[in-house]
Amino acid sequence: MRIGIVGCGGRMGRMLMREVLDTPGATLSGGTMRPGNPDLGKDLGTLAGLEPAGIVSTGDVDALFAASDAVIDFTTPAGTAAHAALAGRHDTALVVGTTGLAPDQQAAIDAASKTAALVQAPNMSLGVNLLLALVEDVARTLGPDVWDIEIVEMHHRHKVDAPSGTALGLGRAAAAGRGVDLAAVSDRVRDGHTGAREAGHIGFATLRGGDVVGDHTVIFAAEGERIELTHKAGSRAIFARGAVRAAIWAGGKGPGLYSMRDVLGL
Ligand SMILES: NC(=O)C1=CN([C@@H]2O[C@H](COP(=O)(O)OP(=O)(O)OC[C@H]3O[C@@H](n4cnc5c(N)ncnc54)[C@H](OP(=O)(O)O)[C@@H]3O)[C@@H](O)[C@H]2O)C=CC1
Ligand SMILES: O=C(O)C1=N[C@H](C(=O)O)C[C@H](O)C1
């Protein structure tokens, strides 16, 4: 299974190369960087913190798609939209971990999934994907009349999108459990004289600081009691492990847009 990494110099890009190089049956088919990146032309194994792999980073994204059975993309929304178009053209499977996509960028992914297998998930860890199923169940069981739902997330100081893709995914799971559309009930920002909380709404709070890999808590609050479901990521390796598993799974699939819950059978 030939797996390529776009944005291979990023925090996740390096972790993903390490995971591919450490996975039996997987071959690292290449890694790309943008023009001007000082690490262009460097050995991918060295960039991943391992022994030299005998293959260097390049700027040729088209050639990477041609040479791969699957490509993994944890970059930026603009980058991901361009990579999705290449996946569709080459019929190469694409695993998308990038968060914060605008509707037109999501449309590029939907279009590519007509001709290639795409797996998209805001969080590739096993724990968060289990949490999604739990949250949907708990929200369904408790209902909106007595229980308020609030979602709190914290990430490192470099993160550029908010709320995190995972927090929004947890919100969608809670809304699905209640049989409502998240967009109609979400309170993503509160500031000043907001008035009392509206029944049935799902609130979000975002914290940023230090090197926090990713913490998410879904709070179900009623009068006199509270349930909190929390996931804490201790290392980016959990995301990389899930993404490589998704790439191997997608390599054998026909065109379509799949989720990590499909990959894990949850
Ligand atoms: N689904 C999941 O499980 C997870 C998702 N993420 C998401 O992954 C994304 C990346 O996170 P992280 O690795 O921390 O971010 P980084 O900023 O460390 O890395 C981003 C990478 O994308 C590259 N890049 C930027 N713009 C473009 C472009 N237009 N075309 C191609 N490549 C581009 C950068 O290259 P350059 O250095 O040249 O700018 C860099 O290599 C985020 O959206 C984050 O939320 C993160 C962790 C887990
Ligand atoms: O940017 C990050 O770092 C992360 N992003 C993802 C998100 O937005 O949910 C997943 C993870 O929590 C780390």
**Segment 71-95, tens digit of pLDDT:** 999 999 999 999 999 999 999 999 9
Listed residue (206, 248, 192) closest to 24, CA to CA:
248
Task: Write out the two tokens for 6.
Answer: 């776009």
CA-to-CA distance for 72 and 105, rounded, in angstroms?
A: 17
Task: Give the contacts of 81 (CB within 8 A, at least 6 positions apart).
Answer: 101, 104, 105, 108, 109
Q: What is the pLDDT of residue 145?
A: 87
* Record: fold of 2-120+236-264: Rossmann fold (3.40.50)
Q: What is the pLDDT of residue 37?
A: 96
* CA 100 / ligand 2 centre spacing (Å): 10
Average pLDDT score over residue span 107-113: 98
Task: Give me the catalytic one of 159, 201, 232, 253.
Answer: 159
* Record: fold of 126-233: Dihydrodipicolinate Reductase; domain 2 (3.30.360)
Domain boundaries, the chain: 2-120+236-264, 126-233
pTM exceeds 0.90 for this model: yes
Listed residue (29, 33, 43, 38) closest to 13, CA to CA:
33
* CA 216 / ligand 2 centre spacing (Å): 10
Q: What is the pLDDT of residue 96?
A: 98
Active-site residue flag, 253:
no
Residue 143's pLDDT band, with cuts at 50, 70 and 90, is confident
* Tens-place pLDDT, residues 150-197: 999 999 999 999 999 999 999 999 999 999 999 999 999 999 999 999
SS3 42: coil
